[in-house]
Amino acid sequence: MIRLSSLTLVAALLAAPAFAAPATDPYYKAGEAALARNLAITPNTGRAKNVILFLGDGMGISTITAGRIFEGQSRGVDGESSSLSFEKLPWTALSKTYSHDTQVTDSAAGITAITTGVKTRNKVIGLTGAAQPEQCATEAANRVETIAEIAKAHGLSAGAVTTTRITHATPAGVYAHTAYRDWEGDTDMPLEATQAGCKDIARQLIEAPANLRLDVAMGGGRSRFLPDAAGGKRGDGRDLTAEWRKASGAAYVTTADQLAALDPARTGPVLGLFANEHLPYEVERPILGEGVPTLAQMTTKAIDLLNKNPKGYFLLVEGGKIDMGSHLNNAKRTLTETAEFSKAIQAALDKVDLKDTLIIVTADHSHGLVISGYASRNAPILGLAGNEGEPIVAGDGKPYSVLSFATGPGGPEGQNLRADPAKEDMDDVDYHQQALANLPSAAHSGEDVGVFADGPGAWLVHGVVEESYIFQVMRHAFGFDADKR
């Protein structure tokens, strides 16, 4: 019986299928290396001296995926296996972005959740969900502190950097409390709101109490701070930039050279307004970007300025035009801005010490960008979908692009049939990817967005979380008591 069993075992082994040795397979080896890196991660449970919140406005998961491919292909490497700087951070989560009153949030409610821990209504900034959009009377009783204001109250410094107007929804979510996100300047407000005592967002930045006012504010939006006579849009005749400069050592800069020339050791609060409205897209820099600093340059200078405070700082850095490119159904702008956002994050990572600095990268909401099959590996991400090199033909006899949108100006108008993308220059900087439904501006989408983190408290970023939870991670990392100052 023993001999028969042994022969049976040998026969079974000989009959088993042969497997290839995986040790030399590049995917297998990459997986082994990734496992080794993850096994070496030790959670940093210490307190954070500094917190930098990077927010890619509208940067959903599909935008990150397309952005990594685009960035890699732009460098002449394999885009699909590339990584953006923040994708290498060890702690990740998914964030549920619905607002207090809608399935799909806007930037105002999104940033309020992240900076205050409270979900609110779309269009509302820095107020609880009890506030009503465009109702000035609901502001006073529903104000809620932001993480920047809490940091300032504890003696830390605070700042905001953006590629949009500094009064736009996301940067305003650091310092403003308003029933309507579009009340950026006094001429943006109805008369009844100003008569009732509500302040425009630019005034709120300048007039904040000294112990709460931002130490660094950089972006666009100069028009909301200057009177008409000085090329601005203010109807009250005030020059808010002059009022900013009244603070001890305060500086006001409008060009990249002026920003670079600032000596952090000798400079007080800094207001940098580098355009009348939003900053130009990166693809427009050769034409419209003269004198405009990059997001990376603003970020590193902001860190230098804020780092003077031995108690630490909070800093928001927004890649705001990622969202604006998607609103246009213009993937080239969206992905270029995503790559620039990644550069700014890498510049910060190269500058700070993750032993005492928490970095969190996330988005306020997603966009309806879709990556459709089945283009060949390394095929242009801005090109046509295909199969074995040949474009795939849809039911209408026309090919379709790898990238498309659910809604937006790229959709068919009226009874018009879908255009043939093969007859268009899809690499043109102004090309609009096709959309299912035509809208003047593409709608946001409601799927979860990514959260990436490293530094003290980053280990708390895991699982599927509420967008408002991100505030709690930052508060806890700083060591701020929720109930005491």
The SS3 of residue 302 is: helix
pLDDT of residue 134: 97
Question: Looking at the annotation, which residues are catalytic?
Answer: 107
DSSP annotation of 345: H
pLDDT (tens place) for every residue of the chain, 485 residues total? 444 556 565 555 556 677 877 888 999 999 999 999 999 999 999 999 999 999 999 999 999 999 999 999 999 999 999 999 999 999 999 999 999 999 999 999 999 999 999 999 999 999 999 999 999 999 999 999 999 999 999 999 999 999 999 999 999 999 999 999 999 999 999 999 999 999 999 999 999 999 999 999 999 999 999 999 999 999 999 999 999 999 889 999 999 999 999 999 999 999 999 999 999 999 999 999 999 999 999 999 999 999 999 999 999 999 999 999 999 999 999 999 999 999 999 999 999 999 999 999 999 999 999 999 999 999 999 999 998 778 999 998 999 999 999 999 999 887 677 888 898 898 998 989 999 999 999 999 999 999 999 999 999 999 999 999 999 999 999 999 765 44
Query: Looking at residue 416, what is its pLDDT?
Result: 72
Angle at which helix 469-478 crosses helix 107-116, to 10 degrees, equals 30
- Tell whether omega for the bond before 27 is within 30 degrees of 0, i.e. cis: no
Q: Judging by DSSP bridges, how do beta strands 435-438 and 444-445 pair with one another? A: unpaired
Q: What is the pLDDT of residue 5?
A: 58
Q: Say what the pLDDT of residue 485 is.
A: 45
- C-alpha triplet 343, 347, 350: angle, nearest 5°: 135
H or E stretch covering 195? helix 191-195
Label residue 42 exposed, middle or buried (CB < 10 Å: 0-12, 13-18, 19+).
Answer: exposed
List all residues 6 or more positions away from 381 whose beta carbon is below 8 Å from its beta carbon.
Answer: 66, 69, 70, 73, 79, 335, 371, 402, 403
Query: What is the predicted pLDDT for the residue at 166?
Result: 98
Phi, psi of 263 (to 5 degrees): -95, 110
**Cβ proximity of 391 and 381 under 8 Å:** no
Ranges assigned E (strand) in 313-391: 313-319, 357-362, 366-367, 369-371, 386-387, 390-391
- Mode of pairing for the β-strands spanning 157-165 and 369-371: unpaired
* Predicted pLDDT at 12: 56
Superfamily of domain 50-368+449-478, CATH level 4: Alkaline Phosphatase, subunit A (3.40.720.10)
pTM of the model: 0.94
pLDDT of residue 8: 62
295-306 vs 331-351: helix crossing angle, rounded to 10? 30
β partners of residue 466: 96
Q: What are the boundaries of each domain within the chain?
A: 50-368+449-478, 374-442
End-to-end CA separation in angstroms for the chain = 81
Pairing status of strand 464-466 against strand 91-96:
parallel
**What pLDDT is attached to residue 255?**
98
